[in-house]
Chain A
Amino acid sequence: MKLNYLTAHEILDLIKENKTSAQKVYKSVLDQIDNSEKAIKAYANLAERSEISIDENKPFPIPIAVKDNMCVLDQETTCSSNILKGFKPSYDATVIEKLKDSGAIIIGHANMDEFAFGSSTETSCYGPTHNPWDLDCVPGGSSGGSTAAVASNQAIWAIGSDTGGSIRQPAAFCGVVGLKPTYGRVSRYGLIAFASSLDQIGPITKDVEDSAILMNIIAGYDPKDSTSAKPEDALFLNTLSCRDDNYSHSCDLPDFTKALVNDVKGLRLGIPKEYFIDGIDAEVKQAVLDAIERLKDRGATFKEISLPHTEYAVATYYIIATSEASSNLARFDGVQYGLRKIPERPRKSSIVDMYEETRAAGFGTEAKRRIMLGTYSLSSGYYDDYYLRGLKVRTLIKQDFDKAFKEVDAIVTPTTPTTAFKIGEKTSDPISMYLSDIFTISANLSGIPAISIPCGFSRNNLPIGMQIMAKPFDEEMLFRIGYTYQQITDWHKKRVNL
């Protein structure tokens, strides 16, 4: 098998045995990029090869793709938006600093929906990324470039961000493992914000073992991020919401690889009836039910549970996420950095003209739509009916999970209602695009960790993902279940030949 088809833990074993080198692995990834990037378009910007250095003495010299919304010192970082073209940050995001310290090789910025606004990577100013399993299909989004890079073996690892499913949905569409950690688990410092109370950075890998290894590198408290979780926060969440008294969970940062245990005996898993509804693709449903049978074979018990406010999640999300986005994106105004445009003929005052013309030229259609929806929700006279009501329904959605986790250790669902859709299929219908995140959004609203794991393929050879959700700060539960599942199945071992 080609080196770039391997997982990082397989590569690291080979390096340890002197059977390969980081340099050779890196070369195999570059060869793949030369071979298939023209068809996939996973990258927004590739780093200059002459500037990349490999330190064989560092513990994790693994080629990694980074979503285009994380600041890398002196590397163009654009959120795949015209408004940030040419922007070269003067600092590294905390995750980037941690990756560099570990020896990871940042090969480029992966394509994404503009400012992470989308579920298909079609709103990027660089044009769409193509799904490696079927080039006519979307890779999902918004981290579609990151998941396509890993699925096409054009990177061994990738980092994405997940605000409403932006890691898990494209991971499902591309047949890779994508984890959204608990809110606050990974520092957001240097992540260009979309919705600050929902955004979370997480790993995209070929299997669960790599996911745990990458989490060990990127997770942890960061004083530069005021929403970064301290141990006391974990305690707070545990007491307030879902831990039962018998469950004492260490609030410190664990070694996530210790959770890679091949055993689910006695675990109580919940199947929410609201996630197996009409409209969900029959093949997706069957694949997830089959996966559940496999976990039952290994001794897990399942019960039906209810998350009654599920049907309100998408509407709640589109109020809260767009409100926060409209505020976060106010900073892109042509004043300090990025694009600046002045209209030919003056309309208002010179400074307002600059703001309005810069933002008109710099933002794409979906970005304008979301900024305006958020501005409306927050505006005087509508705040109570929209934003405030959204926050209250968020409480109800979170309480659904608090209640469910009193009875079960984890929740198993499909990641998406369908497999990857065709490029162009949903671009003119925003609501149908928004609904492709129907199963992933609630985890962001509640702050809980959730993972998508490959669990089958459709007749058209498109990947299917299973989502597992756990209590706050219990990513270890996800790794344990996912690892056990991958010991008895080999969906995660399928590779695309490009």
Chain B
Amino acid sequence: MISKEDVLNIASLSRIHLQDNEIDQLTKNLEDILEYIAKLEKLDVSNVEPTSHVLPIENVYREDKVNSSLGQSAALKISTENQNGSFKVPKVIE
């Protein structure tokens, strides 16, 4: 069972502000989906190793040499707001 409070908590963790009508809808949706997913409980997985990736993943390293990179103005071209060569955001420390 998923309660309205659970949904508000998940929304807060997800950093999404929900409207009232969305809360009811999502509560029902998530409940339906979790009920469907519950079929996995039928399987005994106590001796099964998890697979997070099908390939052996390792970090890719390169030599610590200076390469060409995107310049500051090219990087800032995509910015929503910028000032003095930096990304501008609302006040972080109140």
Contact = CB atoms under 8 A, between A and B. Distances in A.
B93 to A, nearest CB: 9
Contact of B16 (A91, A339, A356, A388): A356
B20 interface: no
Given A369-B26, A430-B29, A236 B48 contact: no
Given A347-B17, A371-B16, A430-B29, A376 B54 contact: no
B30 A197 contact: no
B55 A369 contact: no
Interface string A310-329: 01101110110000001000
Greatest chain A CB density within 10 A among B14, B30, B48, B77 is at B14
A359 B12 CA distance: 11
A48 B7 CA distance: 44
A352 interface: yes
Contacts of A349: 94
Contacts of B77: 88, 90
A278 to B, nearest CB: 17
Report whether over half of chain B's contact residues are helix, strand or loop; otherwise say mixed. Answer: loop
Greatest chain B CB density within 10 A among A309, A338, A353, A395 is at A395
Interface residues of B, number: 54
Interface string A101-129: 00000000000000000000000000000
Contacts of B62: 223
B68 to A, nearest CB: 12
B10 A318 contact: no
A396 B57 CA distance: 20
Interface string A263-296: 0000000000000000000000000000000000
Contacts of A388: 50
Interface in B34-80: 34, 36-37, 39-41, 43, 45, 48-60, 62, 70, 74-75, 77-80
B17 A343 contact: yes
Interface in A67-104: 87-91
Contacts of B15: 330, 333, 352, 355-356, 359
Nearest to A430: B29
A230 B78 CA distance: 33
A373 B81 contact: no
B51 to A, nearest CB: 4
Contact of A360 (B18, B49, B53): B18
Nearest to A311: B39
Interface of A: 87-91, 183-184, 197, 223, 226-227, 229, 233, 236-237, 309, 311-312, 314-316, 318-319, 326, 330, 333-340, 342-343, 347, 349-357, 359-360, 363, 365, 368-369, 371-373, 375-376, 379, 386, 388-396, 398, 430-431, 446-447, 472
5 contacts: A337-B80, A338-B80, A356-B16, A389-B45, A392-B45
Given A388-B50, A431-B33, 12 more contacts: A90-B74, A90-B78, A312-B39, A326-B14, A352-B15, A354-B90, A359-B17, A365-B22, A368-B14, A372-B11, A393-B40, A446-B54
